[in-house]
Structure 1
Amino acid sequence: MHRLSHPPSLDDQDLRLAVDWAIVSRRSVRAFLPRDVSNEQVADILDVARYAASGMNTQPWHVHVVRGAVKDRISAAIAEIDNDPERSVALKEPYEYYPVTWTSPFVDRRRKVGWDLYGLLEIEKGDKARMHAQHGRNYRFFDAPVGLFFTVDRVMEQGSLIDYGMFLQSVMVSARARGLDTCPQVAFTKFHRVIVAELGIPDSQMLVCGMSLGHADMSRVENTLVTEREPVERFTTFHDDTRKEVRS
């Protein structure tokens, strides 16, 4: 696609609705159908996402696409460590994603989405075995046929993670426009050393996150979860210059 190509043959309202739908209907899907997604489809998605904004056009992203035996091998290697508490607790994150000290309203939102999900799955508070099993589904990409890993060169700084967020959103919206679903997963970063070893990723690259890609299995109850979003007026301040001119 040429970035300066003419817009689709839709009227203004239909074009707006189509773009808005792709953004608003994007959500984290936690159960996928076995239906395949081809490398051509993935490349088509990335061909759109590559136009995401980045500071001084640095384009700091690199994408690793895994499927089949490679994906299964990574899942098995991670599960072996994840199921061993002593080995799992010793792992270090490549960077701090979440705050060290949680405060409201962020901790409240985190807890709500967790308990809403567990409620749908009928996992009771304190059932650590089922919680662990559900969390472990992350590392099987929730049965999606395609997994994506995103890396950035370690020479880049925090600004590149802002750029990366725009790229990731573009990937997910582009996928949504093609009838596909995704789940961005920071859960993988804890196992970054396992992943880079399996894929031969050089030490100069840092894992940003993983992502599952495929067709949502809407027969699964966890995919009925719809997270809440704050209304615009709760997070927006309009600064209008209402000062009156003072005359002497």
Structure 2
Amino acid sequence: MSSPQVSTRIEDPASVDAAITSRFSARAFLPRPVPRETIEGILDVARRAPSGTNTQPWKVYVLQGASRDALVDKVCAAHDAIYADPSLAAEYREEWDYYPERWVSPYIERRRENGWGLYGLLGIARGEKDRMHAQHQRNYRFFDAPVGFMFTIDRVLGRGSLMDCAMFLQNVMVAARARGLHTCPQAAWNGYWKIVLPHIGAGEDEMLVCGMSLGWADESAPVNGFHTPREPVQSFTRWLD
């Protein structure tokens, strides 16, 4: 007797593909609330993500209302303090190296294209540091999304658990799209883990993986017209016969 996972047929593959391909990092959200049952439904689907030996290493903290707003205030204050005194940046370093210490081609070109493409759309010119700072701080306001996620794993775990958590994150984002919602995964929070982890009540053995904004995208916001390109399949695939 086959299990439901084996016997289930996908009757509308186009909708599955659309949920994946319409996902993008939304950077402007409406204040419209997201019902708790919708969030729980997303997480219920996402938990089917694979993980090495079924360790399921992810932990999720959902911030709404006062808890969300209080964290925004704390981290924005720290972000402003660093802008005023860059020497304070040493107090806020990521626990794990999301980005490389040295950028090489083609990754540095893609990174620059992303950054200047976004700033160009917003009319932020090179050297406009105040406007760049304000736009970067939008991360710490969850881009006005009513829901913020924080994802953690136990520090004792290995790098493979970060990959497991990443697959869980993708499930969250795709399940959100299936419900008409949008998301923005955010590594920007990682440098402020000393503020985030106590605020959400995480244990001392937990490490912040990233944050994420969730909500209804503001379709009228120009910034949501910024969609990054993807390399064609043939550029990253090798067929071996």
Normalising to structure 1: TM-score of the pair? 0.92
The equivalent residue for 2:216 is 215
* Superimposed CA distance per residue, residues 181-207 of structure 1 (whole angstroms, 9 cap, x where no aligned partner): 000000000000101111221110000
* Residue 48 of structure 1 pairs with residue 15 of structure 2: no
Tell whether the 8 Å contact from 1:150 to 1:210 is kept in structure 2 after alignment: yes
Gap change, CA 1:42 and 1:239, over 3 Å in 2:
same
Query: Aligned partners of 2:50 and 2:159: how far apart in 1?
Result: 15
> SS of the residue aligned with 1:84?
helix
Match of 1:195 in 2: 196
Aligned partner letter, 1:187: A
Residue 34 of structure 2 is matched in structure 1 by: 37
Q: Which amino acid aligns with 1:66?
A: L
- Matching of residues 150-229 of structure 1 within 5 Å: 150-229=151-230
Determine the structure 2 residue equivalent to 1:118: 119
Q: Point out where structure 2 has 5 or more consecutive residues left out of the alignment.
A: none
- Displacement after TM superposition at 1:6 (Å): 6.0
Tell me the number of residue pairs that the alignment of Structure 1 and Structure 2 aligns.
235
Q: CA deviation at 1:39?
A: 1.5
Query: Equivalents in 2 of 1:47, 1:69: separation in Å?
Result: 25
Contact 2:92–2:194 (CA under 8 A) maintained in structure 1: no
Q: CA deviation at 1:4?
A: 3.2
Q: State the distance in 2 between where 1:107 and 1:168 align.
A: 24
Structure 2 match to 1:68:
65
Unaligned runs of 5+ in 1: 241-248
Pairwise CA RMSD: 1.4
SS of structure 1 residue aligned to 2:134: helix
How far off its partner does 1:90 sit?
Answer: 2.9
Superposed CA offset, 1:135-185 (max 9, x none): 001001000000000000111100111111111000000000110000000
Distance 2:194 2:91 in 1: 12
Does the aligned pair in 1 maintain the 2:121–2:223 contact within 8 Å?
yes
Contact 1:93 1:190 in 2 (8 A): yes
- The letter of the residue matching 2:111 is R
1:7 and 1:170 map into 2 onto residues whose CA distance is: 18
State the match for 2:232 in structure 1.
231
Cα distance in 2 for partners of 1:182, 1:192 equals 21
Identify if the C-alpha distance between structure 1 residues 138 and 124 changes in structure 2 by more than 3 Å, giving closer, same or farther: same
Q: Deviations over 1:80-115 (max 9, x none)?
A: 110012333431211000000000110111110111
Shift of residue 7 of structure 1? 4.0
Aligned to 1:246: none
Alignment partner, residue 95 of structure 1: 96
Q: Which amino acid aligns with 2:101?
A: V
Percent identity between matched residues is 51
Larger Rg: 1
CA distance 1:164–1:130, change in 2 (3 Å) = same
1:244 matched residue in structure 2: none
What SS is found at the alignment partner of 2:198?
A: helix
Aligned residues of 1:172 and 1:182 also touching (Cα < 8 A): yes
